[in-house]
Amino acid sequence: FAVPGAFTPTCTAEHLPGYVRQSETIRKKGVEEIICLSVNDPFVMDAWGKTQAVEGKVSMVSDGSGHFSRAMGLETDLRTVGFGLRSKRYAMIVDDGVIAHLNVEDGLGLEISDASTMLELL
């Protein structure tokens, strides 16, 4: 799953914690790795992960320059709120290198990319 920014309100209070809480249940469904991606540098992602107790539950991945987000067509322009170019909020299920499900949020809300919704798709 991807978030617009580490340490931001929705990402920190809801999105990432949902995956941390449900990581064991998700893995029991056959998921090998849960990844949280954000257009932040790796040091920020590491620090954020430590504050959220992700070790052994969620891998924190930096898309520092946004190359992955851009290549996937999932980049969003948040310059008007001071964030610059970031990733849209989304979650995907990848099965053997193929995207089986991709839920992209409209705007900054958290309706279809949360852990519970994605768990239902497994």
- Residues designated catalytic: 11
Residue 91, CA distances (Å) to 79, 80, 105, 117 in order: 23, 24, 9, 10
Give 41-57 as a DSSP string: -HHHHHHHHHHTT-TTT
Beta carbons of 104 and 92 less than 8 angstroms apart: no
For residue 108, give the DSSP letter: T
The amino acid present at 121, given as its one-letter code, is: L
Query: Which two structure tokens, joined as six digits, stand for 57?
Result: 């539950």
**Distance, CA of 61 to chain centre:** 9
